Amino acid sequence: MSVGYRAVLWNRQKRRYDTLLVGGVGLYLVTFIGLGAASHPDITAETLLIRGLGTAALILLTIILSIGPLARLDPRFLPLLYNRRHMGVTMFLLAAAHGVFSIIQFHALGDLNPLVSVLVSNTATTAISSLPFQPLGLIALLILFLMAATSHDFWLSQLTAPVWKALHMGVYVAYGLILLHVALGVLQAETSLVLAGMLVLSAVWVIGLHRVAGAREVKADVPLAVSPEADGFVAVCGVEDIPDNAAHGVCLSGERVAVYRYDGKISAISGICRHQNGPLAEGRIIDGCITCPWHGYQYLPHNGSSPPPFTETVPTFRVRVVDGQVFVHPTPLPPGTEVPPAEIS
């Protein structure tokens, strides 16, 4: 979004990002296949390609799942978050290529439909060493397909943000299935501690990052332990606690609230962006608009509405300033409700 009403589309940053992404994936595949052929002269080119595509997809998925918590912990990772969907689609294409080549090599020459063969070719359940792993990968690929197919903002607007977000949370289910797929399918046949170590490291890294970032989020959701005034307003902070053209985030009655200071005034809106639930309290005022740090969605501070022609709106809150103290009424007003800013005397 922009106050100039220009679509972002493929800007210079995204072109550079995509060029580095595609170049990095290509370099990884060439290196993987080259080293694999040198260390295992008897292995087929098809097997090397299947393994290269699969490991590249897993590495990218690990990075993708790391970007969110890293951006919560350090804003320097926000550019990666801004472009994360491109990485997600790339990861799906790698996983799909891995799946297609695997099905062709191992299931295309039998009497059964290849997809049916994936599901029924192994029915052993008596030992971990023989448990079927290919159906797990197929289910994970289906989840990733649904996410890639709905990655455009058109689907975000059609499904609504809560539904879209719930659908894309399926990435964690896919990640768990992929870990099991790799553990059962590859590590059963390999004795390399490097592969086992990489798998464990990926899981520990992703889980650890999310726990650390989650602990920070829990602190942000602790309601203020203060008594309201007679008319219901709550003292949230001092004026000097709010940086100019930035916000102070608080939690009131279970609601995240972003209290902004700008042009000698104070306004308060919901702290949750309508796009992907981004943290508006961590944004800034740019060209007169509150700008979400995740994807640049913008809202006018006095009414919580996006500047025309955009139509997104967020709830607003009544606010006042008394003796350098900022008071906010914890009851949110309907999205887009205009509220006069409080003047800083």
Could you give the C-alpha distances from 116 to 135, 177, 228, in angstroms and in order?
Answer: 10, 19, 63
pLDDT given for residue 14 in this prediction = 77
* Collapsed DSSP state (helix, strand, coil) of residue 30: helix
Distance CA 232, CA 229 (A): 5
Q: Considering the domain boundaries, does residue 268 fall inside one? A: yes
- CATH number of the domain residue 79 falls in: 1.20.120
Which helix (H) or strand (E) segment holds residue 255: the answer is strand 255-262
Q: Residue written as tokens 């940086």?
A: 243
Do residue 135 and residue 207 come from a single domain? yes
Segments forming the whole domain that contains residue 61: 12-220
Helical pair 171-185 and 134-149, crossing angle rounded to 10 deg:
150
Q: Considering the domain boundaries, does residue 2 fall inside one? A: no
- CATH number of the domain residue 299 falls in: 2.102.10.10
pLDDT given for residue 192 in this prediction = 65
**Domain boundary pick from 220, 245, 279:** 220
Q: Considering the domain boundaries, does residue 276 fall inside one? A: yes
Q: Considering the domain boundaries, does residue 225 fall inside one? A: no
φ/ψ (deg, to 5) at 41 = -60, -25
pLDDT given for residue 128 in this prediction = 66
**Domain boundary pick from 165, 195, 220:** 220
pLDDT given for residue 121 in this prediction = 75
pLDDT given for residue 5 in this prediction = 39
Q: Residue written as tokens 């969110």?
A: 68
pLDDT given for residue 6 in this prediction = 46
Overall pTM > 0.75:
yes
> What is the mean pLDDT for each group of 10 consecutive residues in the chain (345 residues)?
48 82 95 92 90 93 94 85 87 95 84 80 67 88 94 81 86 94 75 76 94 82 72 90 92 89 94 87 91 89 89 93 92 94 89
Q: How many CA atoms lie within 13 A of 88 on its CB side?
A: 28
Q: Considering the domain boundaries, does residue 181 fall inside one? A: yes
Distance CA 337, CA 343 (A): 18
